[in-house]
Structure 1
């Protein structure tokens, strides 16, 4: 009897430890990119525990620089924030594409990310999701707002909000007739352009309700009708449109800014096998579609559209004409000197009175 009880206890202990027999996946990602339902499903399928840390591009870089690529098994930086950072700090490891189920991906997007994350002949990421930033507009009060220049429009004084981040500088540059991406290779000229854009923001500072730093806070400002015109992501605009048909995402006349968030493996990742399993799991059409249906961002999953809800498909058709899609300004990789120029301009705008 004692032997039987001992055997039972051993089996129970084995089962408990075997729940997460695949170890732990330490994921550094954006809020919303690891929905609980998908985390639970992955853990059940694989026996791998998922620990999620929410972050953004700047914090991801800072965390991985501080540890020289340690502390996490998988990160999700934007594709334009990888090659220059990798060349300087070596915080990621090359992607082993033989472990990726490439048939799950939109081929052109996979190739674009390979190309844009290339450093010394090796690529460092695969695409996960994509989207754009542009305008979120309450058309009841700002029906004529069509471009980033409306963030400087006195007509909407006190009802404007945007982030003091690089997309605002870049979007305004395009709206004012410049192409900032063409100047990435010429830091001196880029600085002159950014100083012009920064001064425009300083001159129009009294028009701004606030500079938002949190996406949820921005949505609340629009939801409560404290703000009529804002710079924000398409997903946020579509979420608000579902609540209030007067509010929607508008692709700016000068071109929405397009981004791709990726999967990249930190240099000192411990559970690399789990990282590749999560990537392939998240790109499975039904899982990718769940993410899109929940968060509103489209993914690089080739067949996810089959599982999308009708209203999600409608978002894309309502906000983007074919010409708008053709006019998207996709972010290229960011040279190291460019970000320091932008940071100084943004600090100047923030401190101006």
Structure 2
């Protein structure tokens, strides 16, 4: 009788586990799992999907509170993977052999895997991405091709950018430095930032205003007060709807890119469903539906061909393949660098 009871209990546990494995508990951002995509996935795979919308801070907090439990697939930005994994152990390694790697833009897959590797194991692969670079009125500031061109006499008094990290990083790359390579060398990073500080102080006369919010910048560009600025790609494309001369330009030294990833929480119970979801949504036609919902493109190779015609044209004009491969992806920020950057930004702000 005891033996029968044990066998029955084991069988029930196995069946229950199998049933749970058919449900994918997805922790993601708004727009990354649109209803029509979820429905198609469920119909084609037999899995069901439970979507919880979140953001970086909440994702890490939820997974940390449960030790990586409660979800089967999550989508933090790539700079939120290495640190939390080293400190809290909230993810499990990704078996890259279970992914259709041919679906990914190779440079993005390679960069994300590199930036999310801990102790030789890969913990993240790319999904949705975006960049900051240059938004330019090409009729009035067509000579602006890189960040440091914002300091040229031709655009004096008609330039805007933020006094934030992206400006420091962008100017560093345009000046021939590699700030990301110096992340592990505080002295070298300080040296680079000192050069950038001098350049930004020299450039102050060109700046109409340091923008703080997106609406502020959009108004400055629409009014013609600003003809060249640092900003994000989707902002440039939105302005293009109003004025065809204004668009996003990927800088010659490389746009600065962020990527929201796919990760497997440490205690996830439906890895097979998670891999199925990744391979499903990275198909170009499906990825284009996510772009339509989220407003940003994905790391799906060729998905731009299936995007809405106007958006496809803007994307392809801003990002020929060589510009995509030249994107500088943000790695995790080591402790101590924010203090260095903060000092630089304060001194630039205070300079006459």
Q: CA–CA distance in 1 between the matches of 2:153 and 2:296?
A: 32
Q: CA–CA distance in 1 between the matches of 2:262 and 2:340?
A: 25
2:211 counterpart residue number: 211
2:252 counterpart residue number: 253
Q: CA–CA distance in 2 between the matches of 1:239 and 1:142?
A: 18
Which aligned pairs between 1:159-174 and structure 2 lie closer than 5 A?
159-174=158-173
Using the TM superposition, give the Cα deviation of residue 308 of structure 1 relative to its aligned residue in structure 2, in angstroms: 3.5
Q: CA–CA distance in 2 between the matches of 1:62 and 1:155?
A: 48
Q: CA–CA distance in 2 between the matches of 1:275 and 1:64?
A: 16
Q: CA–CA distance in 1 between the matches of 2:121 and 2:311?
A: 36
Over aligned residue pairs, what C-alpha RMSD do you find?
4.0
Q: CA–CA distance in 1 between the matches of 2:65 and 2:346?
A: 27
Using the TM superposition, give the Cα deviation of residue 263 of structure 1 relative to its aligned residue in structure 2, in angstroms: 1.2
Q: Using a 3 Å threshold, how does the CA distance of structure 1 residues 24 and 298 change in structure 2: closer, same or farther?
A: closer
TM-score scaled by structure 2?
0.72
Which aligned pairs between 1:269-348 and structure 2 lie closer than 5 A?
269=268, 275-293=274-292, 297-320=296-319, 324=323, 328-331=326-329, 333-334=331-332, 336-337=334-335, 339-341=337-339, 344-345=342-343, 348=346
Is 1:48 paired with 2:49? Answer: yes
Q: CA–CA distance in 2 between the matches of 1:225 and 1:43?
A: 49
Deviations along 1:166-193, one digit per CA (max 9) or x if unpaired, are 3221101122332223323321110232
Q: Using a 3 Å threshold, how does the CA distance of structure 1 residues 309 and 179 change in structure 2: closer, same or farther?
A: same
Unaligned runs of 5+ in 1: 1-19
2:124 counterpart residue number: 125
Q: Is the 8 A contact 2:27 2:59 kept in 1?
A: no
Which aligned pairs between 1:172-211 and structure 2 lie closer than 5 A?
172-198=171-197, 200-201=199-200, 207=207, 209-211=209-211
Q: Using a 3 Å threshold, how does the CA distance of structure 1 residues 201 and 124 change in structure 2: closer, same or farther?
A: same
Deviations along 1:244-299, one digit per CA (max 9) or x if unpaired, are 20210112233323444321233355665654444233212211022335556443
Deviations along 1:102-136, one digit per CA (max 9) or x if unpaired, are 45334554344333322112110112134432101
2:147 counterpart residue number: 148
Q: CA–CA distance in 1 between the matches of 2:168 and 2:160?
A: 14
Q: Using a 3 Å threshold, how does the CA distance of structure 1 residues 226 and 83 change in structure 2: closer, same or farther?
A: same
Unaligned runs of 5+ in 2: 1-19
Q: Is the 8 A contact 2:297 2:304 kept in 1?
A: no
1:4 counterpart residue number: none
Q: Is the 8 A contact 2:82 2:115 kept in 1?
A: yes
Which aligned pairs between 1:85-124 and structure 2 lie closer than 5 A?
85-97=84-96, 99-107=98-106, 109-124=108-123
Using the TM superposition, give the Cα deviation of residue 35 of structure 1 relative to its aligned residue in structure 2, in angstroms: 4.1
TM-score scaled by structure 1?
0.72
Using the TM superposition, give the Cα deviation of residue 227 of structure 1 relative to its aligned residue in structure 2, in angstroms: 4.0
Using the TM superposition, give the Cα deviation of residue 52 of structure 1 relative to its aligned residue in structure 2, in angstroms: 1.1
Partner SS, residue 337 of structure 1 = coil
1:244 counterpart residue number: 243
Q: Is the 8 A contact 2:134 2:251 kept in 1?
A: yes
Deviates more, 1:268-277 or 1:129-138: 268-277
Deviations along 1:49-72, one digit per CA (max 9) or x if unpaired, are 31212x35x775577567655665
Partner SS, residue 185 of structure 1 = coil
Q: Is the 8 A contact 2:130 2:232 kept in 1?
A: yes
Q: CA–CA distance in 1 between the matches of 2:153 and 2:305?
A: 44
Q: Is the 8 A contact 1:83 1:116 kept in 2?
A: yes
1:136 counterpart residue number: 135
Q: CA–CA distance in 2 between the matches of 1:295 and 1:224?
A: 28
Deviates more, 1:314-323 or 1:160-169: 314-323
Q: Is the 8 A contact 1:150 1:229 kept in 2?
A: no
Partner SS, residue 180 of structure 1 = coil
Using the TM superposition, give the Cα deviation of residue 22 of structure 1 relative to its aligned residue in structure 2, in angstroms: 5.7
Q: CA–CA distance in 2 between the matches of 1:91 and 1:126?
A: 16
